[in-house]
A and B are shown apart, each in its own frame.
Chain A
Amino acid sequence: EDQVTQSPEALRLQEGESSSLNCSYTVSGLRGLFWYRQDPGKGPEFLFTLYSAGEEKEKERLKATLTKKESFLHITAPKPEDSATYLCAVLGGGATNKLIFGTGTLLAVQP
């Protein structure tokens, strides 16, 4: 069964304190791994898609990386506006376009 596990569940950082969020997955035939950001009361906002091990994507202070078993979202010198829940999802093999989501990491960046 396809499964996504994110850790930690919550992370509190000081402004400027870099860290990483983890997304471990088991899926038959990975077609893609996705990172989303979700602010309270809003829908998930698409950040990155990663397709193969070794691939990296960057956007401002965020960098996503992918291995055969997990993905990391690295946050460099975070700012308070980076506070949000970060969701990871995988798209497995087969005819459906069904994303399997993790339960997210709640990130709080304090000034």
Chain B
Amino acid sequence: DADVTQTPRNRITKTGKRIMLECSQTKGHDRMYWYRQDPGLGLRLIYYSFDVKDINKGEISDGYSVSRQAQAKFSLSLESAIPNQTALYFCATSDHDRDEQYFGPGTRLTVT
């Protein structure tokens, strides 16, 4: 079984709709991250959380919100989706005493 899972894997939604992407991990890591990946721009950090009570904005947080429901669960919400939020979204985890991050399989989101 995958250590980091994301649901849904693909989603098409309309402009203005609210959508939630979910991430779960079984690695026992305390730190979790949300990134988006766009062609030519690379991976960019949206939000990150070092533990259940800790939430921090990344470089491109506008239009997004997150919730850390448990150590193993971190969800990303788009309150009112817009077409330029069409992208690949990745969740990642890391342990507090290791620097490398481990990524989930991604969610391909299309906003029409």
Contacts and interface: CB of A to CB of B under 8 A. Distances in A.
Contacts of B100: 32, 34, 46, 49
Contacts of A89: 43
Interface residues of A, number: 22
A46 B101 contact: yes
Contacts of B104: 43
B68 interface: no
Interface in B82-112: 90, 92, 94, 99-106, 108
A44 B48 contact: no
Interface bracket on B: 20 to 34
Interface string B23-52: 000000001010000001111110010100
A64 interface: no
B39 to A, nearest CB: 9
B15 interface: no
Interface in A80-111: 87, 89, 91, 96-99, 101-104
Interface of A: 31-32, 34, 36, 41-46, 49, 87, 89, 91, 96-99, 101-104
Interface of B: 4, 31, 33, 40-45, 48, 50, 56, 58-59, 90, 92, 94, 99-106, 108
